[in-house]
Amino acid sequence: MSSKAYLGNPSKTSEILRKFGISAQKRYGQNFLVDSNILEKIVNAAGITGEDTVLEIGPGIGTLTQHIALAAKKVICVEIDRNMIPVLEYTLSEFDNVTVINQDILKTDIVKILEENNAKSAKVVANLPYYITTPIIMELLEKDLPIESITVMIQKEVAERMQVKAGSKDYGALSLAVAFYSNAEVKMTVSPNCFIPRPNVDSAVIRLDKLEKPAVDVKNRDLMFKIIKGAFEQRRKTLTNALSHSSAYKTDKKNVENALLEMGKNINIRGEELSLEEFALLSDILGQ
């Protein structure tokens, strides 16, 4: 590792925090990584090469950014906390391939910032705040963005939910949405000891490789996801009961029973037993 990347340890991180008189902001879910071994593993898990433009969300004080910058052609960082901007100017001053933007990623025109940086596509890498993990990932997946992959550090149990298949107790709307748009793989788990301050839960690094086209064909994508949401609003109910009482998608119980019979399914089946392909078929039948 180059001497440039010096933030991946507790003493240097604490020194920077003291120098700028800052501490981790709870409202932004900030936990600073202080393990250089994990930082290098994240860069490797993301498959970053010298040809890549990387979009980093929430760089914080620039710890992961330094490691990414050594491997990538270009790094574009989007940081919501304006107090971090002078810190990033300091910690990234030696890197001429990094651009820092003070914005909320959920309000950022990603296509525009990639164009402004002469990038046709990007790999997303981030140590994401736990409280906003799902909205950010869904925003990146649902919009037709020129993103090749998303490699993120998130809460371990959320990462596990993203890659499970039908039949598991962790299987749900998030699992199905991720599977519709990408191939997901948990790359590693990370102990709370690797952060300042220590989070209360284990973390995991997951990589989502975006599919060129969605995993299944469905006539009405919005309808399918409303049905999926309705199916898991009250997990313990059968699918027919869940959808006849759902706020996301409400239909007569008989309609669901008829659709399930047409699919060759038991009318007492629960949502967690249906695969993505079966939800697409259910949606096409109910949408007729």
pLDDT on residue 131: 83
Angstrom distance (rounded) from CA 79 to CA 84? 8
Q: What is the pLDDT of residues 264-283, one digit of tens each?
A: 999 999 999 999 999 999 99
Nearest to 60 by CA among 73, 79, 46: 79
Query: Mean pLDDT for the chain?
Result: 92
Kindly report the CA angle at 110 between 108 and 114, in degrees rounded to 5? 135
Q: Return the pLDDT at 3.
A: 47
Highest mean pLDDT among 20-24, 34-38, 249-253: 34-38
CA distance 12 to 139: 34
Place of tokens 């979009």: 55
pLDDT of residue 1: 42
Dist CA 153 CA 262 (whole Å): 42
CA–CA dist 146, 156 (Å, integer): 27
User: Which run of H or E residues covers position 126?
Assistant: strand 122-127
Please calculate the CA angle 175-147-105 and round it to the nearest 5 degrees: 80
In this prediction, residue 8 has a pLDDT band, given cuts at 50, 70 and 90, of confident
- pLDDT, one tens digit per residue, over 130-186 is 888 999 999 999 998 999 999 999 999 999 999 999 988 899 999 999 999 999 999
pLDDT, position 22: 83
Question: How open is the CA angle 107-113-114, to the nearest 5 degrees?
Answer: 130
What is the C-alpha separation between 169 and 197, in angstroms, rounded?
31
- 50-55 long-range Cβ contacts below 8 angstroms, 24+ apart: 52/122, 52/123, 53/114, 53/117, 53/119, 53/121, 53/122, 53/123, 54/122, 54/123, 54/124, 54/125, 55/110, 55/113, 55/114, 55/122, 55/123, 55/124, 55/125, 55/147
pLDDT of residue 27: 63
Statement: the pTM of the whole predicted model exceeds 0.85: yes
Q: Is 189 helix (H, G, I), strand (E, B) or coil?
A: strand
Percentage of the residues of the chain whose pLDDT score is greater than 70: 96
Q: What pLDDT is stored for residue 132 in this prediction?
A: 87
Categorize the per-residue pLDDT at 208 as very low, low, confident or very high, splitting at 50, 70 and 90: very high
Specify the pLDDT at position 235: 82
List, for residues 219-255, the tens digit of each pLDDT value: 999 999 999 999 999 888 999 999 998 888 888 999 9
- pLDDT at site 102: 97
Give residue 129's pLDDT.
Answer: 82
Q: Report the share of the chain in percent with pLDDT over 90.
A: 78
Structural domains of the chain ordered from first start: 10-210 (3.40.50.150), 221-286 (1.10.8.100)
Residue type, 152: V
In the numeric block, which tokens belong to residue 277? 């392909």
